[in-house]
Amino acid sequence: MYESDVDRVKEGIQTLLKKGPSRTAVIVGVIILLLFLVRPWVQVGPGQRGIVLNFGAVQTLVLGEGLHFRIPVMQEIVLVDVKVQKAETDAAAASADLQDVSSRVALNYHIVPDKANIVYQKIGVQFKERIIDPAILEVVKAVTAKYSAEELITKRPAVSEAMRLALSERLMVHNIAVDAFSIVIFSFSRIFTEAIESKQTAEQLALKAKRDLDRIKIEAEQKITAARAEAESLRLQRTNISPDLIELRKIEANMKAIEKWNGILPQVTGAGAVPFIGVGDTSKKSSVSK
C-alpha cells in the first residue's frame, strides 16, 4: 500500500469521526460484528481437548478446558473428546478344541488427553473404526484360541483379564487407554451346548447315586451297630442271671398279681377252685427246707 493510500484511509476515518457519535457507534458495531464473524476465540468444553492447527499443520500445544484465543485465518482449533467412551463389538473365534465361539465384548476407553494431538494427526477422529474395533477382534481370537470351550466357561474371569491386558498393551501404542473390559456373552454351537447339558445331567445323577450309596452304607452301619449293642446287652443279661435273681423276679411277679387282685374269689366249687398265689412256690420252699 502506497503512502497516498494510507493518507486517504486516515482522512476517511477522521472524516467519519468528525461527522458525529452516530458514525462512531456504527463503526464500533461493525467491528463487533466482524469479531463474531471471525471468532478469534474458542471454548474447550468439559472432557475435551483443543488441537491447534496452523494453516492445517498440527501443533504440539494441546488446549485444555476453558476459553482460548486464536489467530483468525491462520489458526484453527479442532475439539477432541477425551471422556470415557464405550465400544461394544461382536466377535467370532475358535477355541483350542476347535469349537466355534461367538462372543460379545464391551470396552471402556479414552484418549490420553496430553496425546490428543498425536491421535488426531496419525489416526483422525475415526479411531474407533480404524484402531479399536480391529484390535478387539484380533485379541478375542488370539486369547480364545488358548482355552478350550469348557475353560472359556469355567475360567471366564481369567479369560476376560487376559483380553483386557492384551488390549491395553495394543491400544496404548496408539495413545488410547483401556478403562474396563468385560465379556458380555459367550455362545457356542447347539451340539456343544447339548453336550455340556448332558454332561452336567450325568454328573448330577452320579452325585445323587453316590449320595444314595453313602446313605445306604451309613444306615447299614447303624443297623450293625444297633444289633451289636443289643447282642452285647443280652450277653450281659445272661451273665448276670443267678438263682437269687430268678427268685426275686418271681416274687416281683407275685406282688404284681396280688396288686391286681380285687379280693373277690371266683365262684367255682371243687378242689383247686380257690386261687392261692404263690402256693406252689411256698410248697417248693418247704420241701427244700425239709
CATH number at residue 112: 3.30.479.30
In the chain, the number of structural domains is 3
Is the CB of residue 168 less than 8 Å from the CB of residue 178? yes
pLDDT 10s digits, 154-213: 899 999 999 999 999 999 999 999 999 999 988 887 777 666 667 766 667 777 777 878
Q: Which amino acid is at 235?
A: R
Three-state SS letters, 114-145: HHHHHHHHHCCCCHHHHHHHHHHHHHHHHHHC
As a whole number of angstroms, the distance between CA 191 and CA 131 comes to: 35
> How many CA within 13 A on the CB side of residue 257?
10
* Residue 183 forms part of a structural domain: yes
Q: Is 196 among the domain residues?
A: no
Q: What is the mean pLDDT of residues 59-63?
A: 92
% of residues, the chain, pLDDT over 70: 69
Helix (H, G, I), strand (E, B) or coil at 204: helix
Q: Hey, what's the cell of 165? A: 491386558
In a domain, 254, yes or no: no
- 1 and 19 in a single domain? The answer is yes
- Is residue 290 over pLDDT 60? no
Co-location of 3 and 15 in the same domain: yes
Q: Which range of residues forms the domain containing residue 132? A: 85-188
Nearest to 176 by CA among 124, 129, 131, 125: 131
pLDDT at residue 70 tops 60? yes
Give residues with Cβ within 8 angstroms of 245, minimum separation 6.
none
Q: Are residues 53 and 120 in the same domain?
A: no
Same domain as 119, residue 68: no
Q: Higher confidence at residue 4 or residue 48? A: 48
223-272 residue pLDDT tens:
888 888 877 777 766 666 666 667 767 777 777 777 776 666 555 555 55
**Does pLDDT of 288 surpass 50?**
no
Find residue 114's DSSP bridge partners.
none
Largest CA distance in the chain: 178
Tell me: do 174 and 96 sit in the same domain: yes
Q: Does residue 1 form part of some domain?
A: yes
The answer to whether residues 101 and 157 belong to one domain is yes
Asked if 109 contacts 87 with a C-beta cutoff of 8 angstroms, the reply is yes
Q: Return mean pLDDT, the chain.
A: 78
User: Is 285 a residue whose pLDDT tops 50?
Assistant: no
Is 277 a residue whose pLDDT tops 80? no
- Claim to verify: residue 96 and residue 168 sit in the same structural domain: yes
> Would 280 be classed as within a structural domain?
no
User: Whole-angstrom Cα distance, residue 108 to residue 177?
Assistant: 9
Choose one of 128, 153, 188: the last residue of a domain: 188
Same domain, residue pair 97 and 161: yes
76, 94: one domain? no
Which of the four pLDDT bands, split at 50, 70 and 90, describes residue 1?
very low
User: Are residue 97 and residue 109 in the same domain, yes or no?
Assistant: yes
Domain membership of residue 268 (yes or no) is no
Residues 96 and 159 occupy one common structural domain: yes
Cα 7 off chain centre by: 80
Residues 184 and 94 in one domain: yes
The pTM for the full model equals: 0.57
- The answer as to whether 137 is a domain residue is yes
Q: Tell me the per-residue pLDDT of 10-34, one tens digit each, with 9 for 90 and over.
A: 566 566 555 555 666 666 666 666 6
